[in-house]
Structure 1
């Protein structure tokens, strides 16, 4: 079965540089981003048995100068975030790739962001544990 398997434990082919493949096939930069990509997100904050998180592309908080132009950058890898109505109680730093567009672009999100090229690697905050507000929990 060597080299003919795939999944969370890689391909079992002895090659180690490409072991961090997400479920979508994208290669992550580190083990933490890789592990987060395999978390099954919660569907709603109403279910207290769920972890109340989702995987989503995030926008970098600061604008960057990319290719000589002020740019807004979006992660090309999903980052764990709390669902709306919930807030993080435990976080960690993860290194993710970002794709950048001109700051004056009207786009708030990019179509097919996970298929976009990486312009830079930066640290982002991933949520590891979330708590719901009373309002959300009572919905």
Structure 2
């Protein structure tokens, strides 16, 4: 696979960002990734948001109320044409309320992600 060698990316977190990070790793910076707990929380948060899609997303006992999405936030999400659109729009709001992801070395992150994937598969 070939990629552009541009040093200034078009988006934050894209290939140019990753290439710069890998160059710093070659200079001795540790290669860190978010802990598996971050990804598990993401999966659970997005599943909870998916449970809040219309028609169950409103009302005092609805999934959106349990997620802490108020009327103003729901209005800002607009009319979502489907479940995926709702989750994609709601997730940044919910993520902004989460603590920053803790990081760990690459080898531990990969091992923990493998264990997480197995646990999610077994739970399904």
TM-score grouping bracket, smaller chain normalisation: under 0.3
Q: Give the TM-score normalised by structure 2.
A: 0.25
Larger radius of gyration: 2
Question: Which protein has the bigger strand share?
Answer: 1
Higher relative contact order (CA 8 A, sep 6+): 2
Question: Which protein has the bigger helix share?
Answer: 2
